[in-house]
Structure 1
Amino acid sequence: MDDPTSLLLRVAESRDKAALAALFTYFAPRVKSMMLKLGAGDALAEDLVQETFVSVWRKAALYSSQRGAASTWIFTIARNLRIDQLRRQSNKPYEDLESLELASDAPLGSALVEQRQVIDRVTLALKNLPAEQQDVVRLSFIHDMPHAQIAESLGVPLGTVKSRLRLAYGRLRPLLEDLQ
């Protein structure tokens, strides 16, 4: 076989079909192998090989040996055809929303039971705390209030709020540590 660059130049300059056939004979198996590695099935890989050499025939005049080897140019055309094919494939029609079934966001029955059991245990554990510790825990976690605002609403210093929370954690930890 002649040099691929000279064959490609013959296709470009004189529309030499024998030169294109020689390029096809040499590169077609390699291009097909590349397509298979890029995830194309056997039939699609063969179609893409055909499209590659149709493009080589049409665009041969655009080839410049100063910009790279003929093989690089041919494999670039093949790769771009595969990318175009994947883009066309991804434009799937929309599904009819009437027939589409969506999973419910509602928790399962067993999850609701477990959640209820956790709430009951936390409520019982909170009842074991002194009233002032219960107040700061409820305001902090249930009402999501910052410590400074809790101090202001209860009329106690900020340090007292933090101290009560720390004491409450100390009492709740042994009662609820298995829930973590």
Structure 2
Amino acid sequence: MTGAVDDYGRLIEAVAATRDRDAFARLFEHFAPRLKAYLMRAGAPPGAAEDFAQDAMLTVWRKADLFDPRRASAATWIFTIARNRRLDALRRESRPLPAPEMSLALEEPEQPDALVSEAEEAARLNAAMSELPPEQLDLLRLAFFQGDAHSEIARKLNLPLGTVKSRIRKAMIKLRIALEPLRETP
């Protein structure tokens, strides 16, 4: 990992620990323009991209204590926040979501250990999904991979909306349990 990557993580940790305004200013100065450019490439108009970038950085300020450098780099965490803010806004507006190929424009290349970790997590997810009953798996695919709203799924499959929501909730609970990190015993 490069020194800059570590520095950004440390800056987020300083914001979390002491609400360090200088650390946040450095994060904002570095990431805000990059977030705006990324969001514009993803289809957001310039004004909206700037709003999303500022909202994402405000979230970094408020939720810095949730950053975990073992799970993601600072850039990945911040870009994911911005991407999710934009997707949330599109959902509220009932606009079509961008294609799943929309990738995060990260500055640093993925580290080999991170790639291995991601591959292991993907394998665990695939194994956990293969254990789901077909009716739950089908609903997850429609909801998360195709981006269909619950009401649209209910209409497509001629199911009550409550049944769709219940099956998706049960599937998510099963996946969360299956994907919990292995607990170390002393």
Larger Rg: 1
Query: What TM-score do you get using the length of structure 2 for normalisation?
Result: 0.47
Query: What TM-score do you get using the length of structure 1 for normalisation?
Result: 0.49
Larger relative helix fraction: 1
